Homo-oligomer: A and B are copies of this chain.
Amino acid sequence: MSSQINPQAADTDRQGDYDPKTSSLSGTVRDEVMDELLSIRGSIDNFDAQLVYLLAERFKATQRVGHLKAVHQLPASDPGREKAQIERLRRLAQEAHLDPEFAEKFMNFIISEVIRHHQTISASHAENEN
């Protein structure tokens, strides 16, 4: 009995598998439209993988900044730097034909996460000092 394969259990084990064809639109759209949609989504999925790996590398760099700030007891945020970063990103966004408002929202989203990390590193560093 233990040698029997339970297909449902196998499916559960593989629930992390990604099916690029997953869509709530399946069966409601003409095949050629769905094919075009899936083709563009394939590119979007590739961009997303690049974004994740790039963000991971960016956070490695900001973790290094966090440790440097903790060791030298520098503040977690740097308003002068953040203002200059946002202005630069808006300019780059214009060059890349990306909405500068979105680029600014994106940068603020990232910076607030980074400051939260810096504060965590600083707190854990202070704890180790005591």
Contacts and interface: CB of A to CB of B under 8 A. Distances in A.
Contacts of A96: 52-53, 55-56
Contacts of A59: 98-99
A102 B58 CA distance: 13
Copies in the complex: 2
Contacts of A72: 29-30, 33
Contact of A47 (B20, B47, B57, B106): B57
Interface of A: 16, 18-20, 22-26, 29-30, 33, 36-37, 40-41, 43-45, 47-62, 64-65, 68, 72, 74-75, 78-81, 83-85, 87-89, 91-93, 96-99, 102-103, 105-107, 109, 113
Given A61-B44, A68-B37, A19 B56 contact: no
Nearest to A69: B37
B56 A54 contact: no
Given A20-B84, A22-B81, A29-B72, 16 more contacts: A16-B91, A19-B84, A25-B75, A25-B78, A33-B68, A36-B68, A37-B68, A48-B89, A50-B54, A51-B55, A51-B106, A52-B89, A52-B96, A53-B92, A56-B97, A109-B109
